Each structure stands twice: as C-alpha cells, then as structure tokens.
Amino acid sequence: MTDETRNPEADSQAAATDSEKERTDMPIDTATAPVMTNTVADGGKATPSSPAPGIDALGAMDALNSLHELNSDRDRMAKRSERGMRAMCVRASWIYGLMAFVYWGVGLMFGGYFYSDIGYITIMAALALLMIAAFVVIIRYQKATGISAFTLAPNKRKAAHDTQFIVASISTTVAQIVLPWIGFAWGFIGGNWIGAVVLAVLTALAIYGLERWHIREWTRVSRLPVVPEEDPHA
C-alpha cells in the first residue's frame, strides 16, 4: 500500500508481528473450551472433563486486556482529534467574525444606505473568499488528523443518546449560521462601522466559546470506553 509517509522500520516490525499474529490469532473460545478428555475414570469412554480453571482465567484476562487496549486507542485518537479541532476552532472564529463584518456591508446595501457596483463586487468577493477559507479550514483539519471531516460524531450510537453532546453540536452549528446575520441586521438599520466591528468581535468570541464547549463534548464522547476501566469482578 502506498502512502505519503512511509515508516522505515517496516520490515523488522512486519516480522515481529507475524510471530505475534500466530500467537494471538488463537481464539479465546478454543482456549477456554474443555481441553482434556477423561478416558480412564469412565471405563474408557471418552467424555469431556471440566475446563482447566487456569486456562479460563487466562482467556478472560486476554479478553480484558484486548478491551482495555481499545480504550487506550480511543484515548489516543481523541487527543489527536482534539488537537486538530482546537487549531480549527481559532481559525473558524476569525472567519465567522469577518463574515459578520462583511454581512454588515450587505445589510447596508439591502437597507438602501449604500450601493455601488464596485462595492457590491468587493463584498461578494469577500464573502466567497470567506466561504472558501471555511472550507480550507475543514480540509486542513482532515489533513492534520486523518479523521474524515464528515464524521459528525464519534461513537455515533452513544453520541446520538448523549444530550449534552447533541446540545453542544446543535448550538454551535446554529450559532455559526445565525450570528453573522446580526451584522446584516445592523447594516440593514443603518448601523455605523464601529458597531459592526464590535459585533464582529462579539460574534467571533461567542463562536469560539461555543466551539470550545463542542470540542470538550466531542473529546468526552470520543473517549467513552468500550468497557469500563474498573475490574468487572470487583
């Protein structure tokens, strides 16, 4: 498989994992199945004896270790995703702040306070650039983390029932769509540029705050363990 970054330790690790595979591909149910037949005690008739308790315990321990390994991987991936989202959050906040400011210009035009062909073209070009920038930020997240940008929620089945996560996701998305329109409203009523700048900064801060909350919830849901870390026999 060709990939953009190759690991030079490939062959040595491949050899090591081959032996590991042979060791660990043995299914646990084989290990925990009855392993001896008692042909002496039953007059030569082969009957399965009870499974060796040590093998049962080993199987259970192996299974528990496998499940804990899955938890560790989720933790590592959650950290990777969190780093990418934090980087995206700062850039996105700037973009939405600028968008609120540009919307003020659109609002002025729609309110009939200002119109010129050059102004119209400039504003529309700025809007187009901001939308491209938002798209680029998402692509950069995907490039940096290796996680699909279309992953709307980690652990979908669990996330779908997590009220806090759903509220955080929806609030953030709604804020990103609605808040820049406050700039439009300000322009529509003929508000001045100082107010537009203040609104843009407030929009950026509000979206940043909501994004941080969303990231915290995203990371929490990403880390939900496959199996609780405590000993099930305790």
Q: Which chain residues interact with another protein by CB under 8 A?
A: 1-7, 9-14, 17, 20-21, 24-25, 27-29, 32, 56, 59-60, 63-64, 66-67, 69-70, 73-74, 76-77, 80-81, 142-143, 145-148, 150-151, 154-158, 222, 226-227, 232-233
Q: Which is nearer to another protein, 66 or 122 (CB)?
A: 66
Specify the residue, 25 or 117, whose C-beta has the smaller distance to another protein: 25
| Whole-number Cα distances in Å, 18 to 21, 67, 86, 91 | 5, 21, 38, 44
* Least CB distance to another protein at residue 134 (A): 18
What is the distance, to the nearest Å, from the Cα of residue 7 to the centroid of all Cα atoms in its chain?
25
Q: Which is nearer to another protein, 24 or 192 (CB)?
A: 24
CB 18, min distance to another protein, A: 9
Cα–Cα distances in Å, from 14 out to 20, 21, 82, 143, 228? 10, 10, 30, 26, 32
Q: How far apart are the C-alpha atoms of 39 and 46, rounded to whole Å?
A: 5
CB of 226 to another protein, least distance (A): 6
Q: How many CB atoms lie within 10 A of CB 38?
A: 13
Place of tokens 């509000």: 206
Beta bridge partners of 150: none
Q: How many residues does the chain have?
A: 234
CB nearer to another protein: pick between 151 and 171: 151
Nearest approach in angstroms of CB 86 to another protein is 17
Residue 59 or 105 having the CB closest to another protein: 59
Least separation in angstroms between residue 141's CB and another protein is 12
CB atoms within 10 A of CB 164: 12
